Amino acid sequence: MDFNTQKIMGIKNGEHYPLVGETRLEFKRARDNKNPKILHASTNAKKDAWFSSNHQLLSYDHLIAVDTNTHQVGGSTVSITAAYHVVPEVSGPEFARCRARVLALIEFWNVVEKPENLGWWQVLQALSAHPLEYVGRIGLIVDSDLGNHQAFNSREKPIFANFYLPKNVSLIYGSDKGGSEHLSTKMIKYCHDLASDLYKSQNLVMSVESLYPELDGIYSHIRQWDTEDSDLRPFCEIRNAHPPLMG
């Protein structure tokens, strides 16, 4: 284990060499009288064998977390999908620099199939409309359907209706019950909180502005919210790493 690069290395003729190939990395938490809780599960993006979840994630060109919260509102259901986009720019053993933004806040009413998978599909459909902006390997971080991730990633099973994952997209699992030491769990928890904030701050039943009618057989209504809203909670606390200059 090379702690400088966070990679698992092989030894041949007394020399270290990188292990390459598809690997799967999982982090679990033990629980009394229950199966261990999986906090993070991912495959590698660039064939290196990592033992750090964050270094593995930062090897992707794009990371997009998607989470959907569903609530009962009167006699209807309302599902709110939030998506957060991180673009790793520079990373090393002890630091990383990324660009990030809230990608989507979407409200669906009376979803017929799985609301979580509908959220994935909606976000991926939006990405496909901007192919030049989403070049390279994309890690789609979600917190549901873990038992089907292998079939989804191998394109043996569609993620929604008859829609299969695009070739450059891999599903990554992150639990919102995990700690912030994993970027995947921090991103999915942030999306969960964004969706909860929207539900708590808006009277969705009384407001019909920008609410559009159904996609037949999928949902009854849809609405997209402003992702540039300055009142959105921050992803992380920004600290000044350097003392102010003295005159």
The separation between CA 121 and the C-alpha centre of its own chain, rounded to angstroms, equals 13
Block residue for tokens 């350097």 = 242
Measured between alpha carbons, how far is 72 from 79 in angstroms, rounded to an integer? 9
For the chain, what is the domain count?
1
Q: How confident is the model at residue 180, as a pLDDT?
A: 82
Q: Is 93 left (phi over 0), alpha (psi -120 to 50) or beta?
A: alpha
Residue 247 identity: G
Please write the tens of the pLDDT for every residue from 41-55. Answer: 999 998 888 888 998
- Residue 170 belongs to some domain of the structure: yes
- Residue 23 belongs to some domain of the structure: no
Burial letters for 130-169: b for 16+ Cβ neighbours within 10 Å, e otherwise?
Answer: eeeebeebbbbbbbbbeeebeebbeeeeebbeeeebeebb
Measured between alpha carbons, how far is 184 from 178 in angstroms, rounded to an integer? 9
- Residue 22 belongs to some domain of the structure: no
The secondary structure element, H or E, covering residue 223 is strand 219-224
Q: How confident is the model at residue 49, as a pLDDT?
A: 86
From the list 98, 96, 79, 67, the residue with the least C-alpha distance to 189 is 67
Q: Which two tokens stand for residue 106?
A: 């979407």
Q: How are beta strands 169-174 and 138-142 bridged, if at all? A: parallel
Q: How confident is the model at residue 93, as a pLDDT?
A: 63
Please write the tens of the pLDDT for every residue from 11-41. Answer: 888 888 877 778 899 999 998 888 999 999 9
Please write the tens of the pLDDT for every residue from 137-185. Answer: 999 999 999 999 999 999 999 999 999 999 999 999 999 888 888 999 9
Measured between alpha carbons, how far is 104 from 84 in angstroms, rounded to an integer? 7
Measured between alpha carbons, how far is 237 from 241 in angstroms, rounded to an integer? 12
- Residue 241 belongs to some domain of the structure: no
Measured between alpha carbons, how far is 56 from 189 in angstroms, rounded to an integer? 19
Q: How confident is the model at residue 205, as a pLDDT?
A: 61
- Residue 81 belongs to some domain of the structure: yes
- Give the bridge partners for 11, in sequence order: 16
| CATH of residue 133 | 3.30.420
Q: How confident is the model at residue 90, as a pLDDT?
A: 76
Please write the tens of the pLDDT for every residue from 85-135. Answer: 999 887 666 677 889 999 999 999 999 989 999 999 999 999 999 999 999
Q: How confident is the model at residue 245, as a pLDDT?
A: 42
- Residue 246 belongs to some domain of the structure: no
pLDDT at residue 246 greater than cutoff 60: no
Is residue 25 within 8 Å of residue 42, measured between CB atoms?
Answer: yes
Residue 124 identity: L
- Residue 185 belongs to some domain of the structure: yes
- Residue 51 belongs to some domain of the structure: no
Is residue 203 within 8 Å of residue 211, measured between CB atoms?
Answer: no
Domain of residue 164, residue span: 60-224
Q: Which two tokens stand for residue 242?
A: 């350097």
Is residue 59 within 8 Å of residue 133, measured between CB atoms?
Answer: no
Inter-CA distances, 125 with 105, 128, 165, Å: 14, 5, 11
Residue 59 identity: S
Q: How confident is the model at residue 69, as a pLDDT?
A: 95
